[in-house]
Amino acid sequence: MSVSSVITTTSKTRGQNQVHADELSRSFALTTRLDAIVAWGRKNALWPLPYGTACCGIELMSVMGPRYDLARFGAEVVRFSPRQADLLLVAGTITEKMAPVLVRIYEQMLEPKYVLSMGACASSGGFYRAYHVLQGCDKVVPVDVYVPGCPPTPEAVLDGIMSLQRMIATQQPRPWRDNWKNPYDQT
């Protein structure tokens, strides 16, 4: 839902003064719902944490690089500190050894936070049906968007980010996020 579509229309039941005030405000301001404008801000200022572990990390460099330029989507401020990031870009194979680290990084991120799983390995283990590879990072963290490919082209990653932006703007419910529990929590 874009900002313009949530502008409230004047109610006919309101008094003359009210209408006058509304016309006045329309000339220099717009009205919207608070949550819609917040979502609009969020979707256009994603700060990604590039969790690049393998080949996809190299393609992620291309996404950030001069030709594909993620900055056009407002997500170029790459932060390696989870405290400053709100989008976890899991780019590459997550092994069993890496999984506890990934969960710890995810837990350190502040709300609202989103996860994008880039590539076949991060999404499902890919063609590594192997003894040391986690069969998809959604086994340990809640994933919002899966981007297929091995590795995905930068266009596919941009499309994934745009999908995530749509999800944020429409405030789509995320039960996978709400019901998520830390798989390593013993208590």
Partner 1 sequence: MTKLEELKKNLSEKFNTANFKFSHNFGDDVLEIPKDQIAPVLRYFREIGKFDFLMDICGVDYPARALRFDVVYHLFSSRDGSRLRMKAQVGEGDSVDSAIRIWRGADWFEREAFDMFGIKFSGHPNLRKILTHHQFVGHPLRKDYEADRQQACNETLPVHFDDTDSESGAILNENLVPINIGPSHPAMHGTLRVMAELDGETVVRASCEIGYLHRCFEKMAETHPYNQVIPYTDRLNYCSAPMNNVGYCKTVERLMGVEIPPKAQAMRVILCELSRVIDHIISVGTGGVDLGALTAFFHLFTYREKVYTLFEKLCGSRLTVAMTRVGGMAQDAPEGWFDDVLAFCKEMRAGVDEISKLMIDNKIFIKRTQGVCPVTAQEAISWGYTGPLLRASGVNLDLRKTAPYYGYDALNFEVPVGTSGDIYDRYLVRIEEMKQSIRIIEQVCKNPPGGDYTIRDKGIVLPEKKDVYGNIEGLMNHFMLVIKGLRPPPGEIYDATEAANGELGFYLVSDGSANPYRLKVRPPCFAIYQSFPHVVKGAMLADAIATVSSMNVIAGELDR
Residues that bind partner 1 (CB under 8 A): 51-55, 57-59, 61-62, 65-67, 80, 92-93, 95-101, 104-105, 121, 127-135, 150-151, 153, 183-184
Instruction: Find the shortest distance in angstroms from Cβ 185 to partner 1.
Output: 10
Which residues sit opposite 89 in a β-bridge?
A: 50, 116
CB 141 within 8 A of CB 108: no
| Smallest separation, CB 76 to partner 1 (Å) | 11
Please, what is the minimum distance in Å from the beta carbon of residue 103 to partner 1? 9
Nearer to partner 1, 102 or 168 (CB): 102
Q: Specify the residue, 12 or 129, whose C-beta has the smaller distance to partner 1.
A: 129
In this complex, which beta carbon is closest to partner 1, that of residue 73 or of residue 128? 128
DSSP string, 28-92: H-----HHHHHHHHHHT---EEEEE-SHHHHHHHHHHSTTT-GGGGT-----SSGGG-SEEEEES
Q: In angstroms, give the least distance from the CB of 134 to partner 1.
A: 8
